[in-house]
Amino acid sequence: MFIYDSVEKKRRLLEPIRENTVTIYVCGPTVYDDAHLGHARSAIAFDLLRRVLKALGYSVIFVKNFTDIDDKIIAKMKQSGQSLEAITTFYINRYKEDMHALGVEDADIEPKATECIDEMIGFIQSLMALDVGYVAEDGIYFDTSKDKRYLSLSGQKMEEETLLARVEQKASKRDQKDFALWKFTKESSEPSFSSPFGQGRPGWHIECSAMIEKYVASKQGHYQIDIHAGGADLLFPHHENEAAQTRCKGHHQELAKYWMHNGFVTINGEKMSKSLGNSFFLKDALEHYDGEVLRFYLLSSHYRANFNFSEEDLLMSKKRLDKLYRLKKRLFDTETMSIDEAFKEAMLEALSDDLNISKALAILDEMISNANEYLDANPKDKAKKGIFLANIHWLQSLLGIGFHTPLAYFQLGISEREKQEIESLILQRTEAKKAKDFTTADAIRHELEIKGIQLMDTASGTQWERLN
């Protein structure tokens, strides 16, 4: 498999540290608010990576953390009057619910920062012993001048105004590039932890390095893990700082062999930002659209490309997904056979090229088109039907789509109250037909069509779908 390395800025052949095993660490959310579309995009992108690697025969160890101690969480505590645990537990659970709705599988390991405080303290102590960290009035800082490769990850120049704006400016620092390893407690009401340096809490960057070292890092060799992934906005300063402190800790190891970053999400052409008031919460999107529909839409653009969310594009994407379910509907009385190996090989070949989803979905479209053409000419070929159904079932594990029954899929977006009303009208129509009152039956059909409901009279009774 080839993946695009954000550091080397080129496609590289994946050669895992350990044969046939790939270790992946993805930066998870800071849990002080609901997940937004940016979280969803990143989660789906690397969920796909994990699925493809497994389909290729790799064993995957997938880690995604939760940052549950942070300035933003403390601000939320002051605003809401709730405890740290109450806030973080609530939003971790909410995040996982939203991800499950999108078909994103849980990580193998999901550490919380507060569970690894001892490891973070030990990490800082190692840096201090090597004279890489120093004490300032408000905390312990990493001395970036001690890392000769600092900024090699992002390839940035600190003189650039846009970068300087992303670095916290403080008079207590020796150099404005330096970053906090440990923050001393400012107020007694703040959550804090005991340490040899004084009461306080860890800086953001030290959290991921310590959790990687604790849960998944290789103790030997040049690299700790295979792939470190996250949003493009994390490349600097977060990932840059992670890499620097790990490199300087004394083991002469680089943090990751490969770095992967997904593109930004924009809404109406503007970068999604809470300050702009356009941070589209995922829970709001899920109120209007099924999780699988959202997943397919967010999946359909290459993970490295910036993504502009628009409802018009989402609805166009749904029509593409509809075709898969139309085919599945034609296979309702079919037993699953063996998968079409040529289709499987073509899909995996496309996705092995840095998750080339455009090519993969074009192959899927072609499979659907060819299947429908074949079934039009050979509607009773059960063996071939079984192969087509096997193809669809395999997509459930590869792309995380196709789980719904066709009947359930084409009724998505209809409330339970509306379903009861529709079923009541269908029952009235059935009784009218029995009484040979075809005028009333036709009127009910017309009434439902106006409401966007299409009826299909089958041998097993009347079924219905929502019209697009």
Task: Give the pLDDT band (50/70/90) at residue 107.
Answer: very high
**pLDDT digit string (tens) for 110-152?**
999 999 999 999 999 999 999 999 999 999 999 999 999 999 9
Q: Is the per-residue pLDDT at 170 higher than 90?
A: no
Structure confidence by residue, pLDDT tens digits, 329-384: 999 889 989 999 999 999 999 999 999 999 999 999 999 999 999 999 999 999 99
Task: Give the contacts of 124 (CB within 8 A, at least 6 positions apart).
Answer: 133, 140, 181, 182, 195, 197, 202, 206
Mean pLDDT of the chain: 93
- The pLDDT of residue 252 is 79
Is the pLDDT at 164 greater than 80, yes or no?
no
- For 295-334, how does the pLDDT look when each residue is reduced to its tens digit (9 = 90+)? 999 999 999 999 999 889 999 999 999 999 999 999 988 9
Strands 307-309 and 265-267: parallel
Choose the weakest-confidence range: 155-164, 187-196, 225-234, 235-244. 155-164
Confidence of residue 91 (pLDDT cuts 50, 70, 90): very high
| CATH code given to domain 320-407 | 1.20.120.640
**For residue 253, what pLDDT is reported?**
92
Euclidean distance between CA atoms 173 and 168, whole angstroms: 10
Predicted confidence at residue 377, as pLDDT, reads 97
Query: Which residues are paired to 18 by β-bridges?
Result: 21
Closest CA to 168 of 237, 109, 78: 237
| pLDDT average, residue stretch 26-38 | 96
Give the integer Cα–Cα distance in Å for 299 and 279: 19
Q: What distance in Å separates the CA atoms of residue 266 and residue 278, rounded to the nearest whole number?
A: 9
Q: Which of 170, 164, 97 shows the shortest CA–CA distance to 139?
A: 170
202/68 Cα distance (integer angstroms): 11
465 φ, ψ (degrees, to nearest 5): -135, 155
Rounded Cα–Cα distance for residues 218 and 18 (Å): 9
Given a cut of 90, whether residue 88 has pLDDT beyond it is: yes
Partners of 261 in the β-ladder: 230
* Rg of the chain (C-alpha set): 26
Q: How far apart are CA 386 and CA 393, in angstroms?
A: 10
pLDDT confidence tier of residue 267, bands split at 50, 70 and 90? confident
**Average pLDDT, integer, range 83-100:** 98
Tokens at 251, concatenated: 């083991």
Map 263-296 to HEC letters. CCEEECCEECCHHHCCCCEHHHHHHHCCHHHHHH
* Band of residue 279 on the pLDDT scale cut at 50, 70, 90: low
Q: Which two tokens stand for residue 229?
A: 């992934």
* Contact of 435 with 416, CB cutoff 8 Å: no
Question: Domain 2-267 is of which CATH architecture?
Answer: 3-Layer(aba) Sandwich (3.40)
* pTM score: 0.93
The answer to whether the CB of 102 falls within 8 A of the CB of 64 is no
Two structure tokens written together for 67: 């940052």
Residue 118 has a CB neighbour count (10 Å cut-off) of 12
Who's near 230: CB < 8 A, 6+ residues apart?
Answer: 26, 27, 42, 238, 239, 261, 262
Q: What is the per-residue pLDDT for 162?
A: 58
Split at pLDDT 50, 70, 90, the class of 274 is low
Helices (H), 154-262: 161-164, 204-215, 240-247
Q: What percent of the chain has pLDDT over 90?
A: 83
Residue 452's region, left for phi above 0, alpha for psi from -120 to 50, else beta, is left
Sequence letter at residue 188: S
Between CA 290 and CA 301 the distance in angstroms is 18
Structure-token pair, residue 415: 């409330």
Residue extents of the structural domains in the chain = 2-267, 320-407, 416-466
b/e code 271-284 from CB counts within 10 Å (16+ = b): ebeeeeebbebbee
Question: DSSP 3-state assignment of 167?
Answer: coil
Q: 2-267 and 320-407 share one CATH topology?
A: no
Q: How far apart are CA 142 and CA 208, in angstroms?
A: 15
